[in-house]
Structures are given as structure tokens and as C-alpha cells.
Amino acid sequence: MNITINGRAVEATIDPRMSLLDLLRDHVGLTGTKKGCNQGACGACTVLADGERINSCLALAVQYEGRSITTVEGLSSASGDLHPLQRAFIEHDGFQCGYCTPGQLVSAVGMAGEAERGLPSVVTADLSAETVRLDRDELRERMSGNLCRCGAYNGIIEAVAETFAN
Ligand code: FES
């Protein structure tokens, strides 16, 4: 199969039953994306598929033939500068053990893209403003698919808010 990962064309011969998560970690060597529950409940495996958040543990890799995947390794610039959200996570202690952090980061970047595209949320469908800025309740709701066992939610939301909200 052919797939683009973090802007790089990747060709892989795989078992058609392989998950996208296993392709990323075991075949491509991008171990930033984490395997937590492996059943779609924790969000540790979140990546972007053409900008949309998905749980890569639930996705068959072959379903993403020809698509463009962004992992946590793809958030920093080519020269290695951290994404503003990554810097904000450091500033606000948005992690403790750090296992959920890649998923949290990718999910927040995907969330911001959803808001800008005016996709309705479960909290409010009123996202029609040209530049959408989200309040903290909205952020918490939109980030609710990403669990943090250490309970670092306040730092996570502060970092996300500083980067994407009012
Ligand atoms: Fe995919 Fe938990 S590892 S949602």
C-alpha cells in the first residue's frame, strides 16, 4: 500500500488486518503514537487522517491507502521547532507520565481544525464565526476522547486554551 505519513511517501507490504497504529509503530518506526487500550476508548493512538482525528488502533491501515496521516512527530517544524501547542504543554505542565501526551497534542490540533471548519460540536452547534475561538467548556468537551490517567487535565486544557481559545 501507499500512504503519506508526515509529508513523506511510504510504501508498505502488510497484512490486510494490520491496524494503522501497528503500521505506524512497527513498520514505519514512528513510536510517538501510543497504544493504550487498543479498543478506541483512550485516545492515546490519535492521529490525523487528512486533518481529521481518528483512533488509529481501530483503523485498518489499508483503509487509508492514498491518504495523508499526521502523527505527533509531524507537529514540529522541519527544522525541529516545537509546535506552539507543544511549547504550551511544557509551560503549563500538561502532562505527568506523558503517555497520553502525543494523543492529546494531535487531538487538540485536529480539534482546532474542526472548529475552524465549523463542524458542530456536542456542546454547541453555533460555530459559524469566521474565526472560531472556543471557551474552556467547549475545549473540555472536544478533548473528552483523550484520557489522562495521571489527571493532568487542568494543565492540558490551559495549554490548549492558550493556543486555541480566547
Ligand atoms: Fe486507540 Fe486507546 S489505543 S483509543
Q: What is the ipTM of this complex?
A: 0.98
In order, the DSSP letters of 60-82 are BGGGGTT-EEE-GGGTS-TT-PP
pTM for the complete prediction? Answer: 0.90
Q: Residue 56: phi, psi to the nearest 5?
A: -70, -15
Of 30, 28, 20, the closest CA to residue 67 belongs to 20
Looking at domain 2-73, its CATH architecture is: Roll (3.10)
- Residue among 34, 57, 104, 143 whose CB has most ligand 1 atoms within 8 A, to mutate: 57
Domain boundaries, the chain: 2-73, 84-164
Ligand 1 within 6 A of CB of 57? yes
Q: Which residue spans within the chain are E strands per DSSP? A: 2-5, 8-11, 46-49, 52-55, 68-70
Q: What's the CA-to-centroid distance between 150 and ligand 1, angstroms?
A: 16
Question: Could you tell me how far CA 156 lies from the centroid of its own chain?
Answer: 13
Ligand 1 within 6 A of CB of 24? no
Q: Could you report the per-residue pLDDT of 119-132, keeping only the tens digit for each?
A: 654 333 333 444 45
Query: Class for domain 84-164, per CATH?
Result: mainly alpha
Q: Which three cell numbers stand for residue 129?
A: 464565526
Q: Which pLDDT value is given to residue 114? A: 78
